[in-house]
């Protein structure tokens, strides 16, 4: 419990939950890329996930817990950090930090807002029920037609824009977050830190391109129903 009041202790929670969330992001990206195989790819993938039954719920609750801890401590630490400099500089020049590092709380909150929208959209079918699973007919093999739902959604420019904007926030968050988490976990030294900064940025860019390629391909008509 003392750990949850300590400076390093709470940072470790941020880092451990951040690492798990990065893992989730990567797995999610791999899963989503099954859309490039076509309806057969992503509908089979969705069917497979739902066949896991109660495991899906275990997974969802764990993920929610990780997300909750990450957000709670993220906000708490950010508030403490801004309180630590009550009078600001007239002129301050940063030398080493990055835009991503300076905007962690904003990109984090943007991701949170996006996750809420994303769940309302594709999981709960609240925002666009007319083109969602449940209203759409099942596919030829009697599965939920996730493929058609995604394609019809991203053909709407506005929806694609929301997703692309959120992925910019994720890009910035991870461009700092990945190297930061390894430093927090104490796994870096003077030599490996600059290398991990490059790896972190590279992973962030790959995740960005991976996710954004889906709405872009659909808008360009490369993937269509």
- Which of 11, 143 has the CB closer to another protein? 11
CA atoms within 13 A on the CB side of 163: 24
Name the residue number minimizing CB distance to ligand HEM. Answer: 108
What is the spatial distance between Cα 85 and Cα 70, in angstroms, rounded to a whole number? 23
What is the spatial distance between Cα 174 and Cα 183, in angstroms, rounded to a whole number? 14
**Interaction of residue 15 with ligand HEM, rule CB under 6 A:** yes
**Interaction of residue 100 with ligand HEM, rule CB under 6 A:** no
The only residue of 26, 44, 69, 112 in contact with ligand HEM, by rule CB under 6 A: 112
Length of the chain as a residue count: 225
Residue recorded with tokens 């003392």: 2
- DSSP structure class, residue 120: I
Using CB distances below 5 to 8 A depending on partner kind, what does residue 90 bind out of another protein, ligand HEM, none? another protein
CB 80 within 8 A of CB 73: no
Token digits for 179? 């190297």
- DSSP structure class, residue 137: P
Encoded one letter per residue, x for contact with ligand HEM by CB under 6 A and - for no contact, window 157-186 reads ----------------x--xxx-xx--x--
Encoded one letter per residue, x for contact with ligand HEM by CB under 6 A and - for no contact, window 58-77 reads ------------xx--xx--
Q: Which residues bind another protein (CB under 8 A)?
A: 2-3, 6-12, 77, 80-97, 101-102, 104, 176, 179-180, 183-190, 193
**Interaction of residue 21 with ligand HEM, rule CB under 6 A:** yes
For 14, counting Cβ atoms within 10 Å of its Cβ (0-12 exposed, 13-18 middle, 19+ buried), the class is buried
Residues near ligand HEM, by CB under 6 A: 11, 14-15, 18, 21-22, 25, 70-71, 74-75, 78, 101, 104-105, 108-109, 111-112, 173, 176-178, 180-181, 184
């Amino acid at each position: 419990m003392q750990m949850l009041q300590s400076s390093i202790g709470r940072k470790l929670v941020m880092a451990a939950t951040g690492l798990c969330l990065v893992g989730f992001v990567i797995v999610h990206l791999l899963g989503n890329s099954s859309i490039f195989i076509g309806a057969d790819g992503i509908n089979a993938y969705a069917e497979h996930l739902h066949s896991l039954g109660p495991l899906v719920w275990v997974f969802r609750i764990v993920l929610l817990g990780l997300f909750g801890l990450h957000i709670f401590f993220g906000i708490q630490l950010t508030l403490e950090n801004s309180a630590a400099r009550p009078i600001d500089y007239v002129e301050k020049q940063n030398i080493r930090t990055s835009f991503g590092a300076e905007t962690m709380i904003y990109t984090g909150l943007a991701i949170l807002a996006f996750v809420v929208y994303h769940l309302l959209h594709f999981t709960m079918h609240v925002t666009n029920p007319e083109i969602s699973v449940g209203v759409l007919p099942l596919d030829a093999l009697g599965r939920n037609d996730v493929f058609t739902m995604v394609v019809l959604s991203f053909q709407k420019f506005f929806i694609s824009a929301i997703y692309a904007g959120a992925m910019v926030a994720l890009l910035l968050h991870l461009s700092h977050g990945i190297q930061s988490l390894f430093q927090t976990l104490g796994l870096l030294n003077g030599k490996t830190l600059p290398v991990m900064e490059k790896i972190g940025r590279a992973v962030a860019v790959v995740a960005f391109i991976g996710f954004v390629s889906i709405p872009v391909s659909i808008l360009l008509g490369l993937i269509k129903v």
